[in-house]
């Protein structure tokens, strides 16, 4: 293909590429250490903290931020927002890559990763929330693969197969929403059997609902956030339909995010009221809870609303970044920071630098694969052969 | 009631060998499970423990664990608070409650009636056996360590330093020894009878009897009777349990009971979400169809109106053209007639002289 024409005129030695190369090399070395010497050699995991950032960040945050796939495809195909059609493909790809690398991270984290199929082959532990998560993630990864496949099939010129998959769009979208609802909420429900270990301000019988609702915020915000980045970095790959509708999509999603955040803010207080934990707000953890509530939920909700009303895209982008950070903060709070909150600081978990590098390694791989695909396949544009076919 | 020194109504061999075939605790059914009848347990009387660590030593021997750095006779180990680990299935900690002599409390797996570890394991590697012990099967364990996250007593430990065959490690209540009719290692080793092995129901009765017999000595609570749905290990103490490092905020709901609500929602989502979403899709489709139809009707109406208007205008034009034409024709007729008349008149006046002039010439020629 005409790479010279399609790619911007840049050498390989961009700051991004150099940084990515360093992380990839370090990541590969630590990968070898992890699988030859064991978890103990590279992580700070302990008997008190069996789950570190590979679960708290890579899995919990990864799954939430990959929610853009189901949010965008359901908005477009099920809720009739056809004008967002051009945004579905990049959102589905991000979702697919997000989930794929969640599974890759899980392989790093599991003690015996080669037994990953055991829950479906031998155990069938249906009383476990983790079984549901595993089952849904496995199925949803397949759904996302199928939803994304038309892009690759168009690229490869396999028209028959492409049109066959295209006919399944609605079915796959509905399946995607059902599976996402289940596993997004189940990730929160993982902590339901352990009320004594998670701080009461974060533990709630509603935690599954919190996780589901905040995944919608994560999905909407990530689509806006990525759109802004892609707009700069991959502008040359964007089709007319995508570019024409980009501002419209940003405003629409920002409006939705503002409202969902407001709802999320409300139900989080319902959680505090249901547990009657108002007295805990005056403690250190209470202060941290208020920071999450006002700084990472109420603030972006207001910023989104202002951005939409004033049509200020800069404000919307800031709101998207704060929302995404808020999701990261929330998931880390639940799985690490406010987990075993009562332990003395000597027993608390702080990730090792090698765990951090592996997490960065995963993020870098996602960005590299995304760029590879966006530069080759019809991602931000429809293939000329199928322009009127959607 | 007849009591042997450390074993309370312990029927030799009665435990049998059925440990491996135990059922998993109920989780999503909402049925109340009050424990297997005749299952075994241990009563730990904290007021009797002197912190000699002989139980720890016996546990180490019985389970073939690595020898610790400091020998079990070294009580300086008690200066720091410890938890269970991969090479120590039980540990004794020293506590100094305000205004009282030092107290010692032993921790190990409590072998819950409805274990959190068993209910959260997605390969069912943990089983609550009908005899009482919660046993672990390393042959199917994937190593997700959710059991460690879920355990309210922070008991299971993991072999993080093993790359190829890491296992979860915890006290087995000496299930293999019970099957052979022996006492658990720690119970057998205790020199102060701070540990008593027996049927859980009998131990519960014994614990309550001790509390009743010594009014003012014990805290009026059998720890483990109800905590997290009840545990096979039971505790009585002469100081508040939180002063010997035990959590008193666990509640009486078991882990499976806590999870059952969330699990129960799953089939509802699977059943109803597609209905709602297909409905949304249908409404969207219909809205598009109606919009398209409305558009079509409007277009047709507009076209018809335009056509009618055009036809009318055409008619008017035609009529006008006709009248214009008629007028023009009439005018033309008039003009023509006038012209003819004029011409005739002119002709009439001019005709005479030339005829008179020329005819004679012609005739002449």
Segments in A276-343 forming alpha helices (H): 284-290, 299-310, 313-332
Are A40 and B161 a contacting pair at CB < 8 A? yes
Question: What pLDDT, on a 0 to 100 scale, did the predictor assign at position A10?
Answer: 60
* Residues in chain A within 8 Å Cβ distance of B24: 127
Two tokens at B67? 């020898």
B123, B250, B269 member nearest A122 (Cβ): B123
Helix and strand numbers (H, E) in chain A are 17, 0
pLDDT band with cut points at 50, 70 and 90 for residue B330: confident
A190/B122 touch (CB, cutoff 8 Å), yes or no: no
Report DSSP letters for B84-102, one per residue: -BTTBS-EEEEE--TTS--
- The model's confidence at residue B24, banded by pLDDT at 50, 70 and 90, is very low
What's residue A286's pLDDT?
A: 95
The answer to whether A69 and A147 are in contact (CB under 8 A) is: yes
Structure tokens given for B16 = 């049998």
Percent of chain B's residues with pLDDT above 70: 87
Please, which residues 280-339 of chain A have a Cβ atom closer than 8 Å to chain B?
339
Contact in structure between B63 and B222 (CB atoms under 8 Å): no
What pLDDT does B206 receive?
95
Query: B2 vs chain A: nearest CA distance in angstroms?
Result: 39
Mean pLDDT of chain B, nearest integer: 85
d(CA A200, CA B14): 44
The b-or-e profile of A91-126 (16+ CB within 10 A means b, else e) is bbbbbbbbbbbbbbbbebbbbbbebbebbeeebebb
Contact A227, A264 (CB under 8 A): no
What does the pLDDT read at residue B12?
A: 36
Angle at A179 between CA A221 and CA A148, to 5 degrees: 65
pLDDT at B31: 57
Pairwise CB contact (< 8 Å): A131 & B280: no
Q: Longest Cα pair distance anywhere in chain B, in angstroms? A: 186
Q: What is the pLDDT of residue A389?
A: 53
Residues of A in contact with B149 (CB under 8 A): 50-51, 190-191, 194, 197, 339
Q: How far is CA A354 from CA A41, A42, A231, A331, B143, in A?
A: 9, 6, 33, 20, 20
Q: Tell me whether A117 touches chain B (CB under 8 Å).
A: no
pLDDT at position A86, please? 81
- Search chain A and give the residue with CA nearest B257: A193
Whether the Cβ atoms of residue B121 and residue A125 lie closer than 8 Å to each other: yes
Q: Whole-prediction pTM value?
A: 0.85
The beta-carbon neighbor of B163 closest among A37, A48, A193 is: A37
Question: Which of B122, B249, B265, B286 best tests the A interface by mutation, with the highest count of A CBs <10 A?
Answer: B122
Give which of B163, B169, B283 to mutate to test A binding, by max A Cβ within 10 Å.
B163
Would you say residue B4 has pLDDT above 50? no
Give pLDDT tens digits for B221-273: 999 999 999 999 999 999 999 999 999 999 999 999 999 888 888 889 999 99
Write the DSSP symbol of residue B199: E
Identify the helix (H) or strand (E) that includes residue A223: helix A207-233
Closest approach of B10 to chain A, Cα-based (Å): 33
Residues A59, A128: Cα–Cα separation, whole Å = 17
Q: How far apart are CA B177 and CA A293, in angstroms?
A: 53
Q: Which of A362, A382, A286, A374 has its CA nearest to residue A106? A: A362
In the numeric block, the tokens 């034409």 are attached to B325
pLDDT at B56: 94
Q: Please state, in angstroms and rounded to a whole number, the distance separating the CA atoms of residues B105 and B244.
A: 6
Contacts of A231 (CB under 8 A, 6+ apart): A238, A246
pLDDT at position A87 is 84
A319-359: per-residue pLDDT in tens?
999 999 999 999 999 999 999 999 998 999 999 999 999 99
Q: Which of A165, A64, A190, A132 is nearest to B270 (CA)?
A: A132
Task: Please report the pLDDT score of residue A4 as a whole number.
Answer: 40
Bridge partner list, A339: A198
- Token readout for A258 is 């503002």
**Angle of the A169-189 helix axis to the B255-364 helix axis, nearest 10:** 150
| Chain A, nearest residue to B253 by Cα | A193
Task: Identify the closest residue of chain B to A334 by CA–CA distance.
Answer: B149
* CB < 8 Å from B in window 76-105 of A: 77-80
The per-residue pLDDT for B212 is 94
Residues with Cβ within 8 Å of A355's Cβ and at least 6 positions away in sequence, in order, are A42, A43, A44, A52, A53, A54
With cut-offs at 50, 70 and 90, classify the pLDDT of residue B28. very low
Residue B285 reports pLDDT greater than 50: yes
Min Cα distance B46 → chain A (Å) is 23
Kindly write down the DSSP assignment for every residue of B44-93, as one continuous string. Answer: EEGGG-----HHHHHHHHHTTPPPPSS-TT-GGGGGS----BTTBS-EEE
Position B354 scores a pLDDT of: 53
Taking the C-alpha atoms of residue B323 and residue B73, their distance in angstroms, rounded to an integer, is 132
> How would you classify residue B65: left for phi > 0, otherwise alpha for psi between -120 and 50, otherwise beta?
beta
Could you tell me the pLDDT band of residue B17, with boundaries at 50, 70 and 90?
very low
Query: What pLDDT, in 10s, does the model give residues B67-83?
Result: 999 999 888 899 999 99
φ/ψ bin of A193: left (φ > 0), alpha (ψ from -120 to 50), beta (otherwise): alpha
Distance CA A27, CA B49 (A): 51
Contacts of A279 (CB under 8 A, 6+ apart): none
pLDDT < 70 regions, chain A: 1-10, 383-384, 386-390
Instruction: Provide CB contacts within 8 A for A221, sequence distance 6+.
Output: A257, A300, A319, A320, A323, A324, A327
Most confident of A75-79, B24-28, B160-164: B160-164
Contacting residues of A for B141, CB less than 8 Å apart = 111-112, 115
Residue A338: name the closest of A127, A240, A224, A191 by CA. A191
- What end-to-end distance do the CA atoms of chain B give, in Å? 183
Cβ neighbour number for residue B195 with a 10 Å cutoff: 22
Give the C-alpha distances (Å, rounded to integers) separating B260 from A179, A182, A300, B16, B144. Answer: 19, 15, 34, 32, 21
């Amino acid at each position: 293909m005409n790479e010279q024409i399609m790619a911007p005129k840049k050498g390989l030695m961009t700051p991004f590429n150099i940084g990515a190369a360093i992380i990839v090399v370090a990541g590969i070395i630590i990968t070898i250490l992890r699988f030859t010497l064991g978890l103990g050699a590279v992580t700070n995991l302990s008997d008190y903290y069996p789950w570190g950032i590979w679960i708290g960040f890579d899995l919990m945050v990864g799954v939430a931020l990959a929610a853009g796939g189901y949010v965008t495809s359901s908005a477009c195909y099920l809720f009739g927002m056809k004008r967002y059609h051009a945004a579905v493909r990049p959102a589905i790809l991000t979702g697919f890559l997000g989930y794929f690398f969640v599974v890759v991270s899980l392989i790093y984290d599991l003690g015996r990763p080669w037994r990953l199929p055991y829950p479906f082959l031998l155990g069938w532990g249906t009383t476990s929330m983790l079984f549901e998560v595993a089952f849904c993630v496995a199925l949803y990864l397949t759904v996302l693969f199928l939803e994304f496949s038309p892009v690759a099939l168009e690229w490869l010129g396999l028209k028959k197969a492409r049109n066959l998959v295209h006919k399944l769009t609605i079915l796959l979208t509905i399946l995607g929403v059902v599976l996402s609802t289940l596993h997004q909420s189940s990730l929160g429900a993982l902590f339901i059997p352990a009320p004594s270990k998670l701080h009461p301000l974060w533990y709630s019988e509603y935690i599954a609902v919190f996780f589901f609702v905040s995944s919608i915020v994560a999905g909407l915000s990530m689509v806006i956030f990525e759109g802004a980045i892609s707009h700069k970095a991959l502008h040359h790959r964007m089709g007319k339909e995508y570019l024409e509708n980009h501002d419209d999509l940003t405003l629409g999603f920002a409006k939705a995010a503002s409202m969902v955040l407001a709802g999320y803010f409300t139900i989080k207080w319902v959680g505090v009221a249901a547990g009657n934990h108002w007295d805990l707000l005056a403690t250190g953890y209470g202060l941290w809870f208020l920071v999450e509530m006002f700084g990472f939920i109420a603030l972006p909700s207001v910023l989104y609303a202002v951005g939409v009303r004033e049509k200020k895209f800069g404000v919307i982008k800031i709101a998207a970044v704060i929302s995404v950070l808020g999701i990261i903060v929330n998931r880390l709070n639940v799985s690490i920071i406010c987990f075993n909150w009562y332990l003395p600081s000597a027993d608390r978990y702080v990730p090792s630098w090698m765990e951090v590098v592996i997490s960065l390694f995963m993020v870098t791989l996602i960005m590299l694969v995304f760029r590879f695909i966006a530069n080759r396949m019809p991602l931000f544009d429809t293939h000329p052969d199928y322009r009127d076919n959607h | 009631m007849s009591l042997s020194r450390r074993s309370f109504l312990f029927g030799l061999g009665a435990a049998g060998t059925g440990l491996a075939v135990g059922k998993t605790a109920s989780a999503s059914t909402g049925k109340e499970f009050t424990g297997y009848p005749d299952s075994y347990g241990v009563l730990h009387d904290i007021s009797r423990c002197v912190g000699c660590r002989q139980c720890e030593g016996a546990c180490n021997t019985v389970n073939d664990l690595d020898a610790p750095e400091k020998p079990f006779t070294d009580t300086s180990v008690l200066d720091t608070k410890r938890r269970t680990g991969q090479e120590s299935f039980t540990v004794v900690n020293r506590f100094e409650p305000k205004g009282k002599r030092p107290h010692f409390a032993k921790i190990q797996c409590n072998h819950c009636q409805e274990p959190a570890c068993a209910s959260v394991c997605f390969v069912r590697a943990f089983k609550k056996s009908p005899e009482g012990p919660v046993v672990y099967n390393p042959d199917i364990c994937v190593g997700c360590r959710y059991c460690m996250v879920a355990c309210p007593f922070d008991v299971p430990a993991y072999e993080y330093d093993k790359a190829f065959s890491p296992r979860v490690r915890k006290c087995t209540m000496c299930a293999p020894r019970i099957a052979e009719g022996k006492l658990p290692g720690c119970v057998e080793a205790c020199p102060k009878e701070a540990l008593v092995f027996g049927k859980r129901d009998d131990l519960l009765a014994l614990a309550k009897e001790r509390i009743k017999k010594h009014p003012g000595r014990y805290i009026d609570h059998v720890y483990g009777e109800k905590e997290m749905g009840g545990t096979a290990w039971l505790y009585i103490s002469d100081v508040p349990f939180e002063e010997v490092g035990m959590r008193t905020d666990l509640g009486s709901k078991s882990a499976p009971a806590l999870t059952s609500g969330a699990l129960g929602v799953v089939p509802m989502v699977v059943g109803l979400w597609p209905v709602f979403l297909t409905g949304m899709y249908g409404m969207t489709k219909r809205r598009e169809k109606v919009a398209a139809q409305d558009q079509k009707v409007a277009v047709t109406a507009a076209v018809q109106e335009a056509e009618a208007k055009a036809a009318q205008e055409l008619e008017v034009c035609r009529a006008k053209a006709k009248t214009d034409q008629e007028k023009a024709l009439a005018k033309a007729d008039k003009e023509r007639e006038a012209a003819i008349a004029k011409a005739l008149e002119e002709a009439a006046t001019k005709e005479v002289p030339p005829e008179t002039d020329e005819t004679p010439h012609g005739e002449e020629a």
